[in-house]
Amino acid sequence: MNLLNLFSEVNMKDVLQFLPDAVFVVDESNGEILWVNDRAAIIFESSKEDLKGANFDELVVKGMELAEQSSYKDVSVIGGAVANSKEFFVELSANLLDNQYFITIRDVTEMTNILTQAEKTGRLNKDKNLMLTKLSSEFKSPMQSILGFSQALNDGLGGEINEKQRKYVKIINKNASELLYFMNKFFEFAQVESKLYDKNIHVFDVLELIQSVISANEVMIATKKLDININADNIADKFIYSDENALRIILQNLFEISIKLTEIGNINFDLCNPSLEQVENMGITPIKSASETSYMLIRISDNGVGIQETDVEGIFEPYTQLDKQNRKNLVRSISLGTVKELVKILHGAVWLETEVMKGTAFNVIIPVENGAIQQDE
C-alpha cells in the first residue's frame, strides 16, 4: 500500500491541508512531487496543480539529498529554496514510507537573517573590543601626561603660579584623574568582553587577597573613616583554587562601589561555604562529586545609601545605561559589567541586594576546588 492510498483510508489529506508547514509527498526514485498541501502552494508562490509533477530538486536546492539526510539521521536540516526567482531558506524534515518521502518545509529566512546578523554583530563587537584593548595605552598615555604635568605645576615644579592659575590647574588635574579612572574601567571591561582575558588558575590565600584589596583603597577608607571587617569563621579553608587576578578585580570593583555608597559606617566581607542547594538556586550546576566546600560565597555589605530601584534593572549591563537619562552611574555599571564577565569566566554567579538608605550587599559565589572550576573546560 503506497502512502497516498494510506492517506485516503485514514483521511490524512484533510488533516495535512491545515498544517502550518508546507507538506510534500515525493517519489523516492525520481524526486517527482506527488501531492502538496495548501501551505506549500503559498510558500512557493505557485498553484498546487503546477507543483504536482514537478521535480523536488527544482524547488529546494539538492532537495532529495537533504530529504535522504533528514530521514536517515531523523533530524531537521536547513537548505536553500527558490520560488519565482526568489531565494529563501527553509527547514526541511523528511520521513520515508513505502518508497515515498513525507516532507515538511518551513520558511526560516527571517530567523536565519536574525541569526546571521547576531553572529555578525557578535563578531564585530569582539573585534571592536580587541582593537580597543590593543590601543588602550595609546588612549591612556596622553591622559597620564596631562595628569602628571598638571600635578607638577600644582607642586610648583614649573615655577610659581598665582591662586587663579592654581585653581585652573587643580580643575585640569581633577578632570584628568576622573577621565583616566573611567578609561581604566572601560578598557578593563573591553578586555574581558573581548575574551582576551587569560585565566591563571592556582591555589592562593583568599584572606590575603582581601587584605590587599582593602589596602589598595586605604586612602578612600581613611577619608571617610570607614570600619572594614572580615568574617571568615564559616569557611573550611582559606586556601582556594581559582584565578587570583580575576577575583582581585571582582572584589576591587565591588569594594570601590561600596565605599562610594557609604559616607559613614562600615563595610563587611563575610565568607562562607554555601549549601549546594543555594549554589543550584543561583544557576550553577555543581559537579557530581561536589560538596559544600567546593564553593565559596563572598558577601560585601555596607550600610550606605543603597541603590535606587530604578537603577537596579540592568545594573550589570553597561549598554543598557546608555539609554537612561541619568548616566552618572555608567562607570559603576561598567565596573559591574566587568565583574559579571569575570564571574562567568570563573563559572560562578553574582547578584546584589539593596535597600535605599539601608545599604547594599554584593554576593559572589565561585567554585574553589580543582574539579569544580574545571567543570566546563
What is the per-residue pLDDT across 111-128, written as a single tens digit (0 to 9) for each? 655 545 545 455 555 555
pLDDT tops 70 at residue 315: yes
Q: Is 27 inside a domain boundary?
A: yes
Percent of the chain with pLDDT over 90: 44
**136 and 285 housed in the same domain:** no
Judge whether 350 lies within some domain.
yes
More confident residue, 104 or 372: 104
pLDDT over 50 (residue 7): no
- In this prediction, residue 29 carries a pLDDT of 93
Q: Residue 328 — very low, low, confident or very high, per pLDDT cuts 50/70/90?
A: low
Inform me whether the pLDDT recorded for 62 exceeds 60.
Answer: yes
Q: What is the pLDDT of residue 53?
A: 93
Q: How far is CA 174 from CA 161, 171, 196, 232, in A?
A: 18, 5, 31, 38
Q: Per-residue pLDDT tens for 26-58?
A: 999 999 999 998 888 888 988 999 999 999 999
Residue 14 is predicted with a pLDDT of: 53
| pLDDT surpassing 90 at residue 248 | yes
Instruction: Give 135-192 pLDDT, tens digit per residue.
Output: 666 777 788 888 888 888 888 887 888 888 888 888 888 888 888 888 888 888 888 8
Average pLDDT over residues 12-37: 80
272 and 365 both lie in a single domain: yes
* 215 vs 311 pLDDT, higher one: 215
Q: Looking at the structure, tell me whether residues 189 and 207 fall in a common domain.
A: no
Say which amino acid occupies 55.
N
Q: Are 187 and 316 found together in one domain? A: no
Residue 246: band (very low, low, confident or very high) from pLDDT cuts 50, 70, 90:
very high
Continuous segment of H or E residues that includes residue 360: strand 359-367
pLDDT at 250 over 60: yes
184/298 same-domain check? no
Same domain, 70 and 92: yes
Report pLDDT for 118. Answer: 47
Number of compact structural domains in the chain = 3
Residues 192-219, mean pLDDT to the nearest whole number? 91
Q: Does residue 323 surpass a pLDDT of 60?
A: no
Q: Are residues 256 and 359 in the same domain?
A: yes
Q: Does residue 114 belong to any structural domain of this protein? A: no
Specify the residue for cell string 498541501: 37
CA–CA distance, 361 with 350 (Å, rounded to integer) = 11
Model confidence band, residue 3 (pLDDT cutoffs 50, 70, 90): very low
193 vs 51, more confident: 51
Q: How confident is the model at residue 131 (pLDDT cuts 50, 70, 90)?
A: low
Percent of the chain with pLDDT over 70: 84
Residue 232 in any domain: the answer is: yes
Range of the domain at 340: 201-373
With beta carbons less than 8 A apart as the criterion, state whether 22 and 36 touch.
Answer: yes
Q: Are residues 61 and 184 in the same domain?
A: no
Say if CB 90 and CB 106 are below 8 A apart: yes
Would you state the pLDDT for residue 78?
84
Is 83 a domain residue?
yes
pLDDT category of residue 330 using cuts at 50, 70 and 90:
confident
Q: Are 100 and 158 in a shared domain?
A: no
Instruction: Take residue 61 and report the three cell numbers written for it.
Output: 536546492
C-alpha cell at 113: 537573517
Same domain, 87 and 210: no
Q: Mean pLDDT in the chain?
A: 84
Specify the higher pLDDT residue, 6 or 149.
Answer: 149
**Judgement on whether residues 87 and 232 belong to the same structural domain of the protein:** no
| Inter-axis angle of helices 244-261 and 206-216, nearest 10 | 40
How confident is the model at residue 282, as a pLDDT? 92
Q: Do the domain assignments include residue 131?
A: yes
Same domain for 137 and 51: no
Please report, for the domain that includes residue 230, its CATH number: 3.30.565.10
Q: Which amino acid is present at 204? A: F
pLDDT digits (tens, 9 = 90+) for 92-107: 999 888 899 989 988 8
Query: Residue 15's domain is classified under what CATH number?
Result: 3.30.450.20
Nearest to 168 by CA among 144, 141, 146, 143: 146
Position 264 pLDDT exceeds 60: yes
